[in-house]
Structures are given as structure tokens and as C-alpha cells.
Amino acid sequence: MNRQIVLLSLILLFFSCKNTDKSNESTTPQGDLIIFHAGSLSVPFKLIAKEFEKENPRVHVLLEAAGSVACARKITDLKKECDIMASADAAVIDRFLIPNFAEWNIFFASNEMIIAFTDKSRLADEINAENWYKILNKPEVIYGRSDPNADPCGYRSVMTIKLTAITEENPQIVKLLEKDNNFIRPKEVDLLGMLEANAIDYILIYKSVAIQHGLKYISLSDSVNLSSPFLEQWYANSVVEISGEKPGEFWNLKGSPIVYGITQIKNAPNPLLAKEFLKFFFDPEKGMKIIQEQGQGNIIPTFSNTYNQIPDYLKKFAADSRH
């Protein structure tokens, strides 16, 4: 009889442990997480995803880079599944996704426009912050930029050129936009291979991308590089027309300081996993540490006009007042 009791106890203990293991499995983050992000976030997001997967070995982060406008249109027009979207222009989230596809928007990083080049670039020993537009305008020099209709870096490149024309009181500088248009690409990182292969000499691009890829670059004045929150009214003097949501529709975008935004999509296929990633992303010792190490400024917390819609666990990373 004693043997039967011992055997029964062991069987019960075995199944109890098994059920406990299953319970633990059900609470462990697992599955695929789909993230659409700006091309300029490719390097930091790969690093963040790698670290997140280390902490959560049952998770697979699927990253898809594109111009921020193109990312938004994959969600709105193509109805592609997505859990989280991070944009190089926070306004893209407001413009395309809120309120139908997302409820909130948190601003997390800054950047600035620069001119990137290599040792092999023509006139690399002559270019500087004062003459860059003259160098780029020379017939023998080829420069690249991204598509304003698909990528914030594209319309910001146009804004930088227009602001330079205003600053220098020289409207002829705007003619630079008519040059080398066959070297326009969907997103700014598409231009890197062309620069490294010496197919083009210079790129209008973000400072963080130049730092991440070890490129030489010319820093531009705050009056044209779209970096300063104190020059918002000045930047608004530069207006760029881009394609709207519908065929034949166009929007006029005013220049503004470069601000990155991130949101969770309403019909996210894996909302619980998205929550875990966002907690990791905003952690100053985890995701945001990587963002800063990769050349971007941390602007958390920044005012959000969607503050009331932000989940409680993320509210501390935004502000509900401009003051």
C-alpha cells in the first residue's frame, strides 16, 4: 500500500510540474513581432532587435525598412500587417495613421541634415559648410538625395536647399534641385552603396547615418540643418509639395525640426509582444541607449498632442504640456 501511495504522489508531482511549465510558457513573450521603420533607423533597430531577442529567445523580430511615408502607406493602402511603426518624421504618424490606424505618437529622437562624402568624392578637399552648394552644383560633381514623396529625408533635403537659398539671399541655389535627379532613390540609405562605389560624390543625409557608416561629412549651420527646436518658425519658411494619400492630391509641408516618432498599430497581430518591445525600447539603459550611441539625440519626454491616448505604462516617456 505504501508503495502505491508513493507512486501516486510521484505521478501527481510530475503532472503538477508539467502544468507549471506550460503556465510559464504562456506568460513568456513569444512569436513574431513586425516592425516597419525609417531607413535611417536600420542600424539602431537591428541592434535593438538583437538585444531584445537575447532577453526573449522565443521572439523573432521582423524588421522592414522603407521611407517613413512608404511605411505608413503599406499600412493604410496595402493593409500589410504591422505591430509597431517608427518614423523619421513624427508628423507622418499623425498625418497618415492617427486616428484610423493608431491612437498615439511618442517623439523619441532628433537628428540633423548634413552633406556626406568619401575620400574619393570629387573636390572633397575643397568642400566646406560655406561652399557646399556651389560644389554640388558643379557639372563634374554628382550628388544624391532620397525621394520627397516616399521619405522624410527627401523632403528635408529640399527644405535644406531652399533654406540655404533664403539664408544666402540667392534664389539660384534652388536650381540645385533640378540637377542629378536620376540619382534620387526611395530612401536615404539606398544611396550609401552608390556613394561607397563612387557612383555619386555627395549625399544629403542625416548625421546619424553618416556616423553609423563611418562617412566623412560637412556639418551645416542650424539655420538650414533642421536640428534646432528654437528655429521652428524660421524652418517653416521652406515649403515642399509632396504627393497626398489619393492620386492627384498634394500636400504642402512646412520645414520643422527633425523629430522621430513611434507608435503601436491598432490591429497589431501581436499586441502583447509589441508592449514588451516598447518597454524595452524606451528603457534608457536598453533601447534608448542604443539610439543615442548611434548618433541621435534623446528628446524624451517631449510634448505629444495624443498624450491622453498613450497607454499608462508609456505616459512617462511623453509630456502633456509644451511647458
Last residue of a domain, one of 215, 232, 254: 254
- Residue 45, domain member (yes or no): yes
Q: In this structure, which amino acid lies at residue 138?
A: K
Query: Using one digit for the tens of pLDDT, what is the confidence trace for 189-217?
Result: 889 999 999 999 999 999 999 999 999 99
Contact predicate 72/80, CB 8 Å? no
Query: Using one digit for the tens of pLDDT, what is the confidence trace for 25-80?
Result: 456 778 999 999 999 999 999 999 999 999 999 999 999 999 999 999 999 999 99
State the residue range of the domain holding 234. Answer: 113-254
Query: Using one digit for the tens of pLDDT, what is the confidence trace for 215-260?
Result: 999 999 999 999 999 999 999 999 999 887 777 788 899 999 999 9
Q: Which residue has the cell 513569444?
A: 30
Query: Using one digit for the tens of pLDDT, what is the confidence trace for 281-296?
Result: 999 999 999 999 999 9
- Statement to judge: residues 44 and 149 lie in one domain: no
- Statement to judge: residues 184 and 303 lie in one domain: no
Cα 169 to Cα 102, 162, 165, 172: the distances in Å are 42, 10, 6, 9
CA distance 135 to 137: 5
- Statement to judge: residues 133 and 227 lie in one domain: yes
Give the pLDDT of residue 106.
98
Give the pLDDT of residue 248.
78
- Statement to judge: residues 61 and 131 lie in one domain: no
CA distance 311 to 233: 31
pTM greater than the 0.75 cutoff = yes
Query: Using one digit for the tens of pLDDT, what is the confidence trace for 113-151?
Result: 999 999 999 999 999 999 999 999 999 999 999 999 989
Rg (C-alpha) for the chain, rounded Å, is 24
- Statement to judge: residues 140 and 230 lie in one domain: yes
- Residue 1, domain member (yes or no): no
Domain count, the chain: 2
DSSP category for residue 150: T
